[in-house]
Amino acid sequence: MANALDVAPIRALIVEDNRDICGNIAAYLEKQSYILDFAYDGINAMQLALSNTYDVIVLDLMLPGMDGLSFCHKLRADSDVQTPVLMLTARDTLDDKLEGFKAGADDYLVKPFALQELHARLQALYKRSHRKAANLLIVGDLTLNRSTLQVHRAGRRVDLSPAGMKLLQRLMEEAPSVVAREDLETLLWADEPPDGDALRSHLYKLRQAIDRPFDSPLIHTVHRIGYRITEDPP
């Protein structure tokens, strides 16, 4: 196995109260170019997870302060942090594993484990999460998943027409740059735009869905040029 990752360095939070295990993990993963933070109890781990950005979290099940199941549930349900979690535990029954997955874990590794397997599983979680992220367009509190074509703003589902979805995706892909009116017309109608200002009508409906129910508008008109989407005021 190569000593270096075939992806960018992974930043990982290791949550484990056994310092010998932590030392072994550190000695191995740091050679693979990981950037590691450690927490030895659930409460400190939660503070780190909420105040930093990690690619993966390695989480022991039995922890002082807050156990791993409670930590994972709070991370997902209360804080909406979707960082991939690999749960480490000596419990190896099917019910134990199902309980971990129900709490929000993405993978499960039973102690004792080989460090090479831990490394391989973390790489897989990292790559899987980054493939998902590549399909997600984000502007402020607005998200569009290009795989599922689901749109959310401030956690609320937004339903769009096919034309509205095309317009929004192009604006978000180019954000915060201005997209010319002609480019948006070509996107919808190729070389045969309809008579009248049909584009303005579609943009009006898109704004009604994206901006009207919320405090601040994201879609802005750039006079005589086109449109842009940004959380910064024009």
Could you give all domains of the chain from N- to C-terminal order, each with its CATH number? 11-132 (3.40.50.2300), 137-229 (1.10.10.10)
Rounded-to-integer distance, Cα 34 and Cα 171, Å = 36
Q: What type of residue sits at position 175?
A: A
Which residue, 126, 87, 93, 81, is CA-closest to 107? 87
Cα 222 to Cα 109, 170, 177, 178, 204, distances in angstroms: 53, 16, 10, 7, 14
Two structure tokens written together for 33: 């170019």
pLDDT one digit per residue (tens) for the chain, 234 residues: 333 344 468 999 999 999 999 999 999 999 998 999 999 999 999 999 999 989 999 999 999 999 999 999 998 888 778 899 999 988 777 888 888 888 889 999 999 999 999 999 999 999 888 776 677 888 988 999 888 899 999 888 999 999 999 999 999 989 999 999 999 999 999 878 787 789 999 999 999 999 999 989 999 999 989 999 998 765
pLDDT at 128: 84
pTM for the full predicted model = 0.59
DSSP assignment of 162-230 equals HHHHHHHHHHHHHTTS-EEHHHHHHHHHTT-PPSS-HHHHHHHHHHHHHTTTSSS--EEEETTTEEEE-
